[in-house]
Structure 1
């Protein structure tokens, strides 16, 4: 099933990141460009780095200048993340381009890639929650609470994986069809963000 292979790739990316556990480490994609595995690995690596950016920026002792630099990196990471989602959806659009869509076919509330995006984030939640259940310096109450949360996350993984595989099967069979709405983010656009527009005019 697609979701099982995707989750395996996400786990591979997360484990590889934590060998050095540094946001500035070199990124090397082990999969061939053009393959869906290449996009999935890259997607999760972006998510993993951003996860740790978000940890760093919450340091109460961070200097304002460093926080601003980090905020810019998070913004750039968010842009790259949404770009990757579109690339993944483009892969599915091409894959299912010749499917004959049934007259009563319906559209899903989200595209396959946005569901896969949620699975990538879920893989990170599971990895880090599992870490919390194994801490030697934590009290039993904390460990037990994290075990319960981990169980919920694993249930979510099961449900989300099933939903993704069902969605892809429905698209392949023509029971559902997909559309991709290109991102229309306004805050990065010189013409749409009034602050940037004002600076441009100045």
Structure 2
């Protein structure tokens, strides 16, 4: 099984497990063994799935402002966890390919394997929810047809992205692509880098 097939299967299991209760407060119950890549991928998608629903909730026009602020803080924290876990996955790939010597003419890809995997994880959520809309009995036929068209595009995108990820990993393994990782340097949560936060500390 290709890596992308494994990742897609894990992501879909995470999405389905979350929707058993469909509650942002549901605690993760990761079914995969400690130290396995599948366990990491499941945790990654679980973060994405919870955040997906936080983003839905905060868009309620009648939401209480205090609740909205609390949700914004939760989304910020979730974004940080997401970034940290993506970088952790890239660390896993770096270690996995540590004995590969890149060729002299090895290229550098525009994104790392883990950030491509991040897009695949989000795509699994788009496919899941668009499929719900394409089959929602309370929606109009026109709505369902439009959503099915969008779902077809998403599934095509999934195929293309999966091929691209597997090809990237193969190129890294063969030394045709040099894997280079940069930290995201998120500044908004850092009290020493966000001027709103450090100016407040100086007052």
TM-score (norm 2): 0.98
Per-residue displacement from partner, 1:41-66 (whole Å, max 9, x unpaired)?
Answer: 00000000000000000011100000
2:10 is paired with a residue of what secondary structure? Answer: helix
Per-residue displacement from partner, 1:32-86 (whole Å, max 9, x unpaired)?
Answer: 2221111100000000000000000001110000000000000000000000101
Per-residue displacement from partner, 1:151-178 (whole Å, max 9, x unpaired)?
Answer: 0000000000000000000000000011
Counterpart for residue 23 of structure 2:
22
Q: How does 1:31-110 map to 2 (within 5 A)?
A: 31-110=32-111
Count of residues in correspondence between the two structures: 202
Alpha-carbon shift at residue 28 of structure 1 (Å): 1.2
- 2:156 is equivalent to residue 143 of structure 1: no
Counterpart for residue 162 of structure 1:
163
What RMSD over aligned residues (CA atoms) do the two structures have, in Å?
0.6
Alpha-carbon shift at residue 183 of structure 1 (Å): 2.1
TM-score (norm 1): 0.99
Counterpart for residue 186 of structure 2:
185
- CA–CA separation in structure 1 for the residues paired with 2:34 and 2:157: 30
Of 92-101 and 25-34, deviating more is: 25-34
Structure 1 unaligned spans of 5+: none
Q: Which runs of 4+ in 1 moved over 3 A?
A: none
Structure 2 unaligned spans of 5+: none
